[in-house]
Structure 1
């Protein structure tokens, strides 16, 4: 089964399930669904940053400071956060990511809107990211991520989550 065939819960403005659809159809028709964003830090506190592969359905070849993805039909945000983090990092036995907050992402232009649950987790084991998902990766100090914000092309939903996370932490 391709990622476009994955079944997602479709939700309303209150994050209540109103139906289900294939992932590809949800993207094509601008149907609101759920996603989990997980900020990963290594033992030294550096952020996991990666460039998405060119084959991704949404935001191909862009940089991201979160791992994560869609929440499958019937799956909880917490379940998706752990599953996505372990899959994308290529690790097992990761601690359960800590939930921080949720927000409704809406790009306002292309009909891309999804409820976004933001998490954080520390990964102290070597990572082996999925080659289907990750073209390049590194653990960068947060100051370096800040310097790259205006230089690299980032996924817009990740930028929205990162901005909200910095505000959540009182970093503006």
Structure 2
């Protein structure tokens, strides 16, 4: 089964399931669905940052400070967060990511999804998926903040980062 054939839950503005459709149809028709975002920190508290591959369906070649992806039909956000983090980082045995908050991302156009934001510490050696990740590094938070104005970022990840930063003490 290709990723375009993966079945996703379609949700309303209150995150209630109202139907199901293949991912390809969800993207083509701009249907609201669910995504999990996981901020990954290493043992030195640096954040995993990566540039998406050029062939990604959504936001190709842009930088992101989250790993994650769509939540499958009937899958919980918690399960999707762990599955996606392990897949994208190329690891197994991660601790369960800690839920922080959720929000409705809407770009005002055809892209809208409920976004559950998590954090996890990864002290394992990472081997990111070549199909997903073109470049990566663990960056100290001050460097990540400097790069926000220099690199082009995925807009949903940037929105999640800004919300996460608003709830943290400076430093």
1:81 aligns with 2:81: yes
Partner-residue secondary structure (3-state), 1:101? strand
Match of 1:72?
Answer: 72
Count of aligned pairs between the two proteins: 171
Deviations 1:90-122 (A, max 9, x none): 0000000000000000001x3100000000000
Alignment of 1:14-93 (within 5 A): 14-93=14-93
Partner-residue secondary structure (3-state), 2:103? strand
RMSD: 1.1
Of 162-171 and 16-25, the range deviating more from structure 2: 162-171
Match of 1:150?
Answer: 149
Match of 2:97?
Answer: 97
Q: State how far apart, in whole Å, the 2-side matches of 1:126 and 1:164 are.
A: 28
Deviations 1:20-68 (A, max 9, x none): 0111111111100000000000000000000000111100000000000
Partner-residue secondary structure (3-state), 1:165? helix
**Offset of 1:146 from its aligned partner?**
0.7
**Offset of 1:4 from its aligned partner?**
1.3
Match of 2:139?
Answer: 140
Match of 2:106?
Answer: 106
Match of 1:125?
Answer: 124
**Offset of 1:170 from its aligned partner?**
4.2
